[in-house]
Amino acid sequence: MKLSIESLVSGYGLLDVLHGVSIEIAEGEVVAVIGPNGAGKSTLLRTISGLVAARSGTIRYDGKEIGGLAASEIPRLGLVHVPEARHVFGSLTVEQNLIVGASAASNTKDRKSALSEVYELFPMLSQKARELAGGLSGGQQQMLAIGRALMSRPSMIMLDEPSLGLAPLVVEQMYEALDGLRRTGLTILLVEQDVYMALDFASRAYVLENGTIALTGASDVLRHDDHVRRSYLGI
């Protein structure tokens, strides 16, 4: 199992946001987490990536317990997180932003090869390589954030609301690129506000409500579940 989480509890200050969450993701699998705002979806990803400390439970990646690791250590294991709201370095060029994402242990040849792969996936980034990231559109910044995460050549990527605030055409272009990543066998954990898109893209999904897993199953099954249809698909 690529990622295995059991009975995870985490939160902020005195508030528990996640209450005993358990999920599993196999290598090469694409899994979505859907649910209402405030359900704890972003907190789940932030806890996995070490940005929020787990209060109890286990987080195992490739069989290794990572729950107590610093956030800076986890990407070195091959697990990267693209947070909501992009967070690019606006005063750096597009290419400098990408280089920041490269593994500290990678040599110049490895970085050039990783850059080529990212530019092939997102040709727009190649065209704007010398421009400041702060001048990019929201969609371009989202592609840059994903490209930066890919520079370390991870084996698993976590995406938090990648389509949030983007125009439909940009979202379509981005998901075409993500589909290319899926075909390479990259393991993907997706948190997505657009439930239709999430269920189309992922093979399985978890429904997170009030910090607990309310439902789980194959995307095709959840798409026809009465609760999902009423609550998230507007049917």
User: Does residue 171 share a domain with residue 100?
Assistant: no
Q: What percent of the chain has pLDDT over 70?
A: 98
User: Does residue 118 share a domain with residue 175?
Assistant: no
User: Does residue 48 share a domain with residue 115?
Assistant: no
Looking up residue 39, the CATH number of its domain turns out to be 3.40.50.300
| Domain final residue pick, 100, 118, 153 | 153
pLDDT in tens, 28-66: 999 999 999 999 999 999 999 999 999 999 999 999 999
Is the predicted pLDDT of residue 187 greater than 60, yes or no? yes
Q: Give the range of the structural domain holding residue 142, as residue numbers without chain letter.
A: 88-153
- Beta bridge partners, 61, equal 3, 64
The pTM of this model reads 0.92
Is the predicted pLDDT of residue 209 greater than 90, yes or no? yes
pLDDT band at 233 (very low <50, low <70, confident <90, very high): confident
Q: What is the spatial distance between Cα 28 and Cα 185, in angstroms, rounded to a whole number?
A: 5
Residues 142 and 166 sit within 8 Å (Cβ to Cβ): yes
Instruction: Give the pLDDT of residue 104.
Output: 58
Q: Provide the 3-class DSSP secondary structure of residue 213.
A: strand
Laid out side by side, the sheet with 204-209 consists of: 79-82, 156-160, 187-191, 30-34, 204-209, 212-218
Residue 83 falls within a domain, yes or no?
A: no
Instruction: Give the pLDDT of residue 193.
Output: 87
Give the residue carrying structure tokens 């060029």.
93
Is the predicted pLDDT of residue 192 greater than 80, yes or no? yes
Mean pLDDT over residues 174-184, rounded?
Answer: 92
Is the predicted pLDDT of residue 197 greater than 70, yes or no? yes
| Domain final residue pick, 133, 153, 173 | 153
pLDDT in tens, 83-139: 987 789 999 999 999 999 886 556 778 889 999 999 999 999 999 999 999 999 989
Mean pLDDT over residues 211-220, rounded?
Answer: 96
Mean pLDDT over residues 56-84, rounded?
Answer: 94
| Domain final residue pick, 112, 132, 153 | 153
User: Does residue 54 share a domain with residue 161?
Assistant: yes
Q: 119: Cβ–Cβ under 8 A, 6 or more apart, which residues?
A: 125, 126, 129
pLDDT band at 165 (very low <50, low <70, confident <90, very high): confident
Mean pLDDT over residues 181-198, rounded?
Answer: 94
User: Does residue 170 share a domain with residue 145?
Assistant: no
Domains of the chain: total: 2
Instruction: Give the pLDDT of residue 105.
Output: 53
Q: What is the mean pLDDT of the chain?
A: 93
User: Does residue 228 share a domain with residue 129?
Assistant: no
